[in-house]
Amino acid sequence: MNRAWRRFGGRDVADAAAAVAVALLVGYAVVDPPGPSPSWPAWSAWPVAVVLSLPVALRRHRPRVVLAWACAAGVLVTVAGAVAAGAIWLSFTPVVLVLYVVATTVPAAWSAAAAAGCASAATSAILLFYDRVFPGLAPAASPSEMPPYWPIEIGVTCVLLAVAWAVGAVVRWRRDTTARLVHHLAEAAVADERRRIARELHDVIGHGMSLIAVKATVANHVADARPQEVRAALAVIERTSRSTLAEIHRVLGLLRSDDDLREAPAPVPGMADLSELAAHARSAGVEVELSVREDGASPAGVALSVYRIVQQALTNVVTHAGPTRCAVTVDVDGRAAVIEVVDEGPRHGVPPRADHGRRGGHGLIGMRERARMYGGTFSAGPRPEGGFRVAARLPYDPNGTPA
């Protein structure tokens, strides 16, 4: 209701004021024309002015119909001789104002055809006036500085119509361009959010399922010979499943609307959870040496990116090289976070997997994207002495934004 009232109090009031101004201008011109006075009684100037100017007040409501009304009214009063000789173009001023609105709301081809039709109708009406009505009018009492001359009347009218259409078409083009840009930015934001959530789900599910797969394989092989090791493997699987489900619940919670968020969000993992990642990798047969140096508390976004990079790197070690030895080094100094994960490759006697050394899947892509978000660097590849190395550097400002 407030919005409708503001709309009425804004554009509609402005249009009504413009209609009154046009009516006064047209009425005054008919009462005191620059050329011969019309044969109609003097009092008729004001009803004629109202009929001509009323479309201006209604031009934003069904503008195409109102444009036809304004053009027809201008043509009729001109042919009937109820206009000011020498200032007939004023009778088509309402057509100009309505045409502008039409050009801003309808396709350019339609509005251009409407402008051409209005110009043709106005030209024909002016020619008829000067051919049939003007010769029968009484001469003006005093000569005018702008004597009646049909080429000037037609020229001024057509120029005003052309300007109104051009300005309206440009306004409509700018509005359409802005709308397309806003739509494109909205789609880009949605795509970025989808990629971010997909990256989070990939990291969470990939890490958890890798550990579960490794421990399930171990349990299957030693089920008869070493039941205690099977029990330990099942405990790891249970713990990993619970933590993975909690992470998935947190990530999927981002997809909910604000009205659906009635539960407190799960805590976002960070630097303090790196030791838990190392423990998970150790339970899968990877000997992890974790070294973390942090000068002060890291911003939440930086800490989450560091956690996800280490998580994905350890997942790759477990999946492609385990059992093996692995060194994880994280150094955060308040200006940049430097991450390095180095493994020694499969132990002697264990054949390397077919994809070892060629880890180019979504995991590396996700780690590279996280480093790129902070304008940092990322590298990953096999080492000459064997094994694989992942290194990343994330520069940032104290407030957590990319440096």
According to the model, what pLDDT value does residue 258 have?
47
According to the model, what pLDDT value does residue 173 have?
92
Mean pLDDT of 206-228: 67
Given a cut of 80, whether residue 104 has pLDDT beyond it is: yes
Given a cut of 60, whether residue 121 has pLDDT beyond it is: yes
**pLDDT tens across 343-385, in order?**
988 876 555 554 444 445 567 887 888 888 888 899 998 988 8
- Return the number of other C-beta atoms located less than 10 Å from residue 227's C-beta: 11
Integer Cα distance of 97 and 269 in angstroms: 62
310 closest CA partner among 324, 331, 295, 296:
331
Integer Cα distance of 215 and 353 in angstroms: 18
Q: Which amino acid is at 163?
A: V
Ramachandran region, residue 234 (left: φ > 0; alpha: ψ -120 to 50; beta: rest)? alpha
According to the model, what pLDDT value does residue 81 have?
83
According to the model, what pLDDT value does residue 68 have?
92
Answer whether 391's CB lies under 8 Å from 330's CB: no
Q: Flag the least confident range among 100-104, 339-343, 354-358.
A: 354-358
According to the model, what pLDDT value does residue 119 have?
93
Task: Enter the pTM of the model.
Answer: 0.55
Given a cut of 80, whether residue 337 has pLDDT beyond it is: yes
Mean pLDDT of 87-104: 90
301 closest CA partner among 396, 182, 189:
396
Given a cut of 60, whether residue 2 has pLDDT beyond it is: no
According to the model, what pLDDT value does residue 5 have?
45
According to the model, what pLDDT value does residue 204 have?
65
Given a cut of 60, whether residue 87 has pLDDT beyond it is: yes
Question: Helix, strand, or coil here: 244?
Answer: helix
Integer Cα distance of 119 and 121 in angstroms: 5
Integer Cα distance of 82 and 42 in angstroms: 10
Mean pLDDT of 371-400: 86
Unique residue bearing structure tokens 């030693």? 222
What phi and psi values does residue 44 have, to the nearest 5 degrees?
Answer: -70, -15
According to the model, what pLDDT value does residue 207 have?
61
Top-confidence residue, 200 or 395 = 395
Integer Cα distance of 337 and 184 in angstroms: 33
Q: How confident is the model at residue 113 (pLDDT cuts 50, 70, 90)?
A: very high
**pLDDT tens across 234-290, in order?**
776 777 677 666 666 666 665 554 444 444 455 677 888 888 888 878 877 788 899
Q: Flag the least confident range among 29-43, 273-287, 304-318, 364-378.
A: 29-43
User: 197-200 contacts: CB < 8 A, separation 24 or more?
Assistant: 197/251, 197/254, 197/255, 199/308, 199/366, 199/369, 199/370, 200/251, 200/308
pLDDT, the chain, mean: 79
Instruction: Write out the DSSP string of 128-178.
Output: HIIIIIGGGSPPPSS--SS---HHHHHHHHHHHHHHHHHHHHHHHHHHHHH
Top-confidence residue, 151 or 218 = 151
Integer Cα distance of 65 and 59 in angstroms: 9
Instruction: Write out the DSSP string of 306-357.
Output: HHHHHHHHHHHHHHHT-SEEEEEEEEE-SSEEEEEEEE--SPTTSPPPTTTT
Mean pLDDT of 383-391: 90
The domains of the chain are located at 2-184, 270-403
Mean pLDDT of 322-336: 87
CATH (one of 3.40.50.40, 3.40.50.300, 1.10.1060.10, 3.30.565.10) for 270-403? 3.30.565.10
Mean pLDDT of 316-326: 82
**pLDDT tens across 169-204, in order?**
999 999 888 888 888 877 777 777 677 667 666 666
According to the model, what pLDDT value does residue 200 have?
67
Q: Flag the least confident range among 5-19, 150-164, 255-269.
A: 255-269
Top-confidence residue, 102 or 334 = 102
